[in-house]
């Protein structure tokens, strides 16, 4: 059997769990795909049980997979430091960081409360800064690496989601700044902007069938996106196949972001 695309690599995936034990969102999909391709993966999630569910999925496929579940709040500097230290203690290096944690808060600047504004910025932006702050030196010491941040097409095509869209726009700016800051360390930093993908974060609370169909029809391809689509994009961006790619924002949206008003 030929080696996997990430053989010998060590990865941390934040938000590696799911709101549903059997659901597959962006983080869980990336973690599973990284492990399939030979990476040793630290599965970090605010809920240990969610990370453990991902671990079971991976080990059910491959009992020899090297994975570890870790409870971590990535809005905490201490937790982010310990997360990286744990990966280094177990595997001796760090090559990949996949930043998946995020929440959605809608409304306008008139509607949103100060507490909600601060929370969405803390979870969606500060978490990625803190995780990267501790991952970058470890990657540099390992000879380089790759970071993927998850944004959203809402950053480029906002619609009554001002707090969320603003935070995801900040993720894009953070990605580009980090790509310049850490290029000399051999670290590539890229961003994925998912469209209306059907993930547990979206449907855990219930989604009417007509709304799900409307979201599918919004894509000119006429297909429904899932966490797997985002996971496969992340797999490419962290692999050596993307060695000449950094600072990009990759929409994974079935073409939604390039359609005109009449097409929606």
Residues noted as catalytic: 164
Give the burial class of 64: count Cβ atoms within 10 A of its Cβ; 0-12 exposed, 13-18 middle, 19 or more buried. exposed
CA 201 to chain centre: 13
- The token pair that represents 97 in the structure block: 């960081």
Element (H, E) at 252: strand 249-252
Angstrom distances, CA of residue 134 to CA of 14, 66, 84, 97, 170? 13, 22, 7, 10, 19
Nearest to 41 by CA among 100, 96, 99, 102: 96
Strands 96-99 and 67-71 come out as: unpaired
Residue 236 phi/psi, 5-degree rounding, is -60, -50
Q: Cα–Cα distance between 113 and 5 in angstroms, integer? A: 45
Instruction: Taking the CA atoms of 237, 26, 223 and 211 in sequence, report the sign of the dihedral they define.
Output: negative
Q: Cα–Cα distance between 144 and 125 in angstroms, integer? A: 23
225, 254 in Cβ contact below 8 A? Answer: yes
């Amino acid at each position: 059997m030929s080696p996997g695309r990430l053989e010998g690599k060590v990865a941390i995936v934040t938000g590696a769990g799911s709101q549903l034990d059997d659901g597959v969102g962006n983080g869980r999909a990336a973690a599973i795909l990284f492990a399939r391709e030979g990476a040793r993966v630290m599965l970090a999630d605010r809920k240990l049980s969610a990370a453990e569910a991902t671990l079971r999925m991976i080990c059910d496929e491959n009992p020899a997979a090297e994975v570890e579940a870790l409870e971590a709040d990535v809005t905490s500097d201490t937790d982010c430091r310990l997360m990286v230290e744990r990966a280094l203690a177990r595997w001796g290096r760090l090559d990949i960081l996949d930043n998946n944690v995020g929440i959605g808060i809608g409304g306008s600047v008139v509607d949103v409360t100060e507490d909600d504004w601060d929370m969405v910025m803390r979870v969606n932006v500060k978490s990625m800064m803190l995780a990267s702050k501790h991952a970058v030196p470890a990657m540099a010491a390992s000879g380089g690496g790759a970071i993927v941040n998850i944004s959203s097409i809402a950053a480029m095509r906002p619609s009554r989601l001002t707090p969320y869209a603003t935070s995801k726009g900040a993720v894009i700016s953070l990605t580009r700044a980090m790509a310049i800051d850490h290029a000399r360390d051999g670290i590539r930093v890229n961003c994925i902007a998912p469209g209306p993908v059907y993930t547990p974060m979206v449907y855990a609370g219930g989604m009417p069938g007509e709304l799900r169909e409307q979201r599918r029809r919004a894509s000119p391809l006429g297909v429904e996106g899932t966490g797997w689509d985002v996971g496969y994009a992340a797999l490419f961006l962290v692999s050596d196949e993307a060695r000449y790619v950094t600072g990009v924002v990759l929409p994974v949206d079935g073409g939604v972001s390039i359609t005109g008003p009449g097409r929606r």
